[in-house]
Structure 1
């Protein structure tokens, strides 16, 4: 026994080591304020495009942004910032290099010249990255939003060299140096745009022409519309800058997201090795400021009502989002995709008073409410953290054609409420935990290859299937486990008389009682409820000892997942994933 334990521990540590050693590709970013991460204090809406880049890559890529406000290629080296980055670079990593804005400045600690010192610094970055086995990528500067006429070029350049019109909200440009705006953008970078291109060609380095990308975007939007990309902030609207700002160099949240999206598309073209990791979402939610919104509810609210025939995709980056979330019926076709560690959490419970002193009740306790049809969730954890205090719902689902993939539902009593009558729900490779009746409700729900864990003695399910409804709960190839010490669990009890639950090829742990099924203290329920199993396995599988009113199916005729979920419109998430049906609404 001792030797087996040692062997098992050895295998555990071996597999853990393999997981820990899984290669992670890092994209290091070096550059100036247009690329840099920004402080979020006071609701600061300024963002560097590099700050928004993580929302455009899969989790196989880690973005490590070392860009810094006010730095040129010279000062980045002189201050030891490049040495720090270089010490972190390993074989297969990428280094994104974008300087120019501050190399133009006349200050001695920043200034370089295109064709000589600027080019030399870019070569240094490239060659030293390659020496470490990294892959350098060169970018030129994003455009400044400076509309005018050609004669204004020197005036504009002089103004922007006053530290891009300002260093903070206390330093606004004087009206005397602002040119009159026209319809064409004035170039202020000159030969500094050519140096990254020339060095890239000379050293055979991937090059992204960000100036052209942003020039086409900004000029195409025109003088007024393009302000929406930049830090044009009205006075007394943002605590971080009470006097407001008129900044034509630095991007806001929207501008950062748009330009990062355009840039990642160009990156995918010139760096094929990164193309497979690129992702595009309509909205990104992130607590670190790298998304469109800080909260999930803000993203849901931004979804157009009844957006038909197309999905609105929302990425939820890693973090615990403590908020009660409501996805109303008008927000159809939403896909909520979570990065690892994306948790939607709240702590209401049935006996918790609302603002009027009334108990919230079971329905009112939920952390998340889903009313919109064709909702899809992947890699999201839905949790209720109120603990063992009675009914406390983690997720309340009252919508048709809802699909959960690789999601987690955490709670105690009444964790997952399949509320919608006549609604179909599909759960694939999900994890659900709880104590009593922790999967309950009216809906037709299919659980495919799910892990169902009992945290305490009680009942796994409590269906309330309506009379005449063809199907209730169906569990296919699921694994039922329990916490240590839990040894008195029923598969189901009927919340309503016509409850239905069928377990097909499921592996049942020893915590499942031999009787398997309970009648909720009402003998009449045995006449109307339909409880059945097919080829149950594991220590909890005991067909001979099962409650007399339950059934052992001889075959699966009529119980194919596609059949159960088809309804009248042929919905088939098993075959088609989260593809939308072409139906009239």
Structure 2
């Protein structure tokens, strides 16, 4: 009986663990080319606004974009595309519905009439989505960039223009748009159908035409081209003939419209508001960002932008590039989705193009020189392997803050390079073999996981003489690969090295002596190595090297004291808030 109860309890615990996990909410998008995902080959600048939605929602929301070029509400149903969405819908999902551009077209495969067949199709989407427990949201069409005269011929031409993608004919003069011309509506009653159906069926409605109309009209005839696919001939491989397109959006336009859509959505669907996020720039391999590479995004940050952070989101993926964040890109925040990895594979003995050795400093995958840098949820790695010195992250920035980041490498993984600089690492994972945390900076490691892959030395500080603090580790956990032993906490790269471990859990791989003098007895007189309340199999105060210290209090070693400097920097209390510093 007791055994049966134990098994039953175990099953209940397993079930509760599964059910307690957050339910993934999917937003399905159905519509036409203004919403659809676009190919990326050849530097294609066109994007649909649905393609950019994921950048504005946290990872608890999945965007499943089913919008397709050239489809109307009728052809989307007739081709079985709606049925494919219905099969995937589950309770609590959302369906964003935007048709109209192609329902206006005269061909019988696509044409519907507002007030009758168009409305009937929208009602079908709503009712069948609700039957699956999903939440439909209706949108009307985004505006066409149609500046000029409000006459029937001009409107008809604008409607047909949606399907013309061959590019510009240099022999045909383009219509001249006069300064001050008004933006003319081309959708007519097709804008009213989603609104009317939403009112009748009590469905959330977003007037996306209104907000895009206001934006484009405010920008005017010339500046508004920056939102649409206006490309000169022979400038983009994907569009060799160029294009002057007043319907379809470019990267900037799609990102702008998607953000407008999200802001309107949360007004009518407040349940989605907690999932909304916004970054100044987004890096993504799938085309949903502003850039494909991290360095491109960094280069776009204005130099010496004062008193405000510039935020960059790096979407999941491995970005193999050598990254440099120069000193002029101050106040920069770099945040990664789960699985965002910044990677490169240089190493010290690798020869550069001139046949010279790269050197330790030259081997880094990422260089950070800008003060007030903040990184969260990113992996910095050097994949060159056990080939000697190979830096994953080189930090020469003051007030640099890393939260929940991973630093992966072998020898010399994390180079705290900056003299007189302060760095704060919170809930980070750092791995390596020999001297894998090293350098001149004052650095605090709070609740970090420090992992040794082979025997060697965890740290190699090179603290300058007279510098008050070097490395201080608080409540960290030190582990090693299975079978690894003979690891020292530190050895002094320079004579006045400092490292202090406070309340750290030391694995059995840490040698009883704990500290090494780098083969120089004279270092024992100048280096300062200490522990306070170490615990775990590697804690052995009686056997420690005689030149090290066991602290009996933390006087002078409060985290805020270590990092305060002359400006009172306190990331533990204030997070990544900027100090009021005159530059």
Shared fold (TM-score, shorter chain, > 0.5)? yes
Measured against aligned partners, the alpha-carbon deviations of 1:540-573 in whole angstroms (never above 9, x if no partner) come to: 1111111111111001111011110000000000
SS in structure 1 of the partner of residue 478 of structure 2? strand
What is the CA-CA distance between 1:171 and the residue it aligns to? Answer: 7.4
CA 401–177 in structure 1, closer or farther in 2 if over 3 Å, else same? closer
Structure 1 length-normalised TM: 0.96
Residue among 204, 207, 210 paired with 2:208: 210
What is the CA-CA distance between 1:268 and the residue it aligns to? Answer: 1.5
1:49 matched to 2:46: no
Measured against aligned partners, the alpha-carbon deviations of 1:192-224 in whole angstroms (never above 9, x if no partner) come to: 000011111111111111000100000000000
Look up the match of 1:82. Answer: 82
Look up the match of 1:584. Answer: 582
Measured against aligned partners, the alpha-carbon deviations of 1:71-109 in whole angstroms (never above 9, x if no partner) come to: 000111111111111111111111100000000001111
Residue among 166, 169, 172 paired with 1:169: 166
Report if aligned partners of 1:477, 1:506 keep a CA contact under 8 Å in 2: yes
What is the CA-CA distance between 1:160 and the residue it aligns to? Answer: 2.6
SS in structure 2 of the partner of residue 373 of structure 1? coil
Look up the match of 2:414. Answer: 416
Report if aligned partners of 1:159, 1:173 keep a CA contact under 8 Å in 2: no
Distance in 2 between the 1:17 and 1:26 partners? 22
Distance in 2 between the 1:195 and 1:544 partners? 81
Structure 2 length-normalised TM: 0.96
1:190 matched to 2:193: no
Report if aligned partners of 1:73, 1:110 keep a CA contact under 8 Å in 2: yes
Distance in 1 between the 2:122 and 2:334 partners? 41
What is the CA-CA distance between 1:15 and the residue it aligns to? Answer: 9.3
Measured against aligned partners, the alpha-carbon deviations of 1:444-465 in whole angstroms (never above 9, x if no partner) come to: 0000000000011100000000
CA 496–14 in structure 1, closer or farther in 2 if over 3 Å, else same? farther
Report if aligned partners of 2:168, 2:242 keep a CA contact under 8 Å in 1: no
1:72 matched to 2:72: yes
SS in structure 1 of the partner of residue 454 of structure 2? coil
Look up the match of 1:128. Answer: 128
1:473 matched to 2:471: yes
What is the CA-CA distance between 1:267 and the residue it aligns to? Answer: 1.2
Distance in 1 between the 2:430 and 2:18 partners? 27
Look up the match of 1:520. Answer: 518
Look up the match of 1:311. Answer: 309
Look up the match of 1:149. Answer: 149
SS in structure 2 of the partner of residue 161 of structure 1? helix
Distance in 2 between the 1:65 and 1:527 partners? 66
Report if aligned partners of 1:32, 1:68 keep a CA contact under 8 Å in 2: yes
Report if aligned partners of 2:496, 2:526 keep a CA contact under 8 Å in 1: yes
Look up the match of 1:508. Answer: 506
Gaps spanning 5+ residues in structure 1: where? none
Distance in 1 between the 2:253 and 2:19 partners? 37
SS in structure 1 of the partner of residue 160 of structure 2? coil
What is the CA-CA distance between 1:261 and the residue it aligns to? Answer: 1.3
Residue among 214, 227, 230 paired with 1:229: 227
Look up the match of 1:484. Answer: 482
Distance in 2 between the 1:460 and 1:401 partners? 23
More divergent stretch after superposition (258-267 vs 222-231)? 258-267
Look up the match of 1:427. Answer: 425
Look up the match of 1:362. Answer: 360
Look up the match of 1:575. Answer: 573
Report if aligned partners of 1:155, 1:177 keep a CA contact under 8 Å in 2: no
Distance in 1 between the 2:372 and 2:420 partners? 14
What is the CA-CA distance between 1:32 and the residue it aligns to? Answer: 0.3
Distance in 2 between the 1:360 and 1:14 partners? 52
Measured against aligned partners, the alpha-carbon deviations of 1:314-343 in whole angstroms (never above 9, x if no partner) come to: 000000000000000000000001000000
Distance in 2 between the 1:143 and 1:258 partners? 13
What is the CA-CA distance between 1:158 and the residue it aligns to? Answer: 1.9
Q: What root-mean-square deviation, in Å, do the aligned CA atoms of Structure 1 and Structure 2 show?
A: 1.9
SS in structure 2 of the partner of residue 276 of structure 1? helix
Distance in 2 between the 1:120 and 1:21 partners? 38
* Aligned positions, number: 575
Look up the match of 2:39. Answer: 39
Distance in 1 between the 2:244 and 2:230 partners? 5
Distance in 1 between the 2:162 and 2:72 partners? 13
Look up the match of 1:256. Answer: 254
Report if aligned partners of 2:317, 2:340 keep a CA contact under 8 Å in 1: yes
CA 322–71 in structure 1, closer or farther in 2 if over 3 Å, else same? same
Distance in 2 between the 1:84 and 1:469 partners? 65
Distance in 2 between the 1:17 and 1:68 partners? 39
Measured against aligned partners, the alpha-carbon deviations of 1:245-296 in whole angstroms (never above 9, x if no partner) come to: 0000000011111111111111111110101111111000001100000000
CA 581–177 in structure 1, closer or farther in 2 if over 3 Å, else same? closer
SS in structure 2 of the partner of residue 273 of structure 1? helix
